[in-house]
Structure 1
Amino acid sequence: MGTGEVAPEKLKVIYAANKNVQPLTAKLCYKLADEWEKLSETTEVLRIWEDGEIKNVPENYFDAFIVDKARYLHREQGKLEFMKSARLIGEVFGHLNQYTGDEFIEYRVRQLIFNGIFEIEGIPKAMRFYSVKLKEEFN
């Protein structure tokens, strides 16, 4: 999350609560820069925060979670019918304990379409223009 996504009133509270916090030490700055150098040399597409550190994971790491959320939404519908992809992406994004950005989640939904897990209706030029549903055998 960037500060552009935080309401000004909340930023004021955050600032007030942290105005006496000391800036990073030179030693910590060098440590963080070194960590970034190591991360920037990796080729993985997806990283998560786990156990207090950044870990590289395969790009399909969240696919099962996406499919589970689709099953949940289908149960909510009462039957297996198309749902706006934005609805599914929002459900995943809202319950994911990692910050990936909705663009990455949409990318994975499209990969799941390509891999035959989801059916598609509409044109996938943006998430609001197409709908998805799990294929019968995956529901």
Structure 2
Amino acid sequence: MLEEESEDDFVRAGRVIAKICSNLHQLVGDSFIQYRMWTLISNGVLAFKGLPFALYQYCVRVV
């Protein structure tokens, strides 16, 4: 298990976005990545827990 994962496979959203920004070789802002993450949550691809209005206050996982 990775250190950023909890026992229920949720990963902090801030870590996911930071990892995407550091590995992406295109000029895409973190606000777009967060928007896209919420689109995937709305479509049922990702699940979340925590406070949805604060980036570092919620976690996501693949459903």
In the superposition, the TM-score normalised over structure 1's length comes to 0.40
**1:102 paired residue number:** 30
Greater gyration radius: 1
User: Which stretches in structure 2 are left out of the alignment for 5+ residues?
Assistant: none
Is 1:81 matched with 2:9?
Answer: yes
Cα distance in 2 for partners of 1:80, 1:134 equals: 11
How many aligned residue pairs are there?
A: 60
Structure 1 stretches of 4+ with a deviation exceeding 3 A read: none
Tell whether the 8 Å contact from 1:80 to 1:134 is kept in structure 2 after alignment. no
What does residue range 24-35 of structure 1 map to in structure 2 within 5 Å?
none
Opposite residue 86 of structure 1, the aligned amino acid is: G
Cα distance in 1 for partners of 2:29, 2:50 equals: 23
Percent of aligned positions that are identical: 33
User: Which stretches in structure 1 are left out of the alignment for 5+ residues?
Assistant: 1-75
Among candidates 116, 119, 124, match of residue 44 of structure 2: 116
Q: CA deviation at 1:129?
A: 1.1
Query: Alignment RMSD, CA only?
Result: 1.8
Query: Which one has a larger percent helix, Structure 1 or Structure 2?
Result: 1
Q: CA deviation at 1:100?
A: 1.1
CA 134–112 in structure 1, closer or farther in 2 if over 3 Å, else same: same
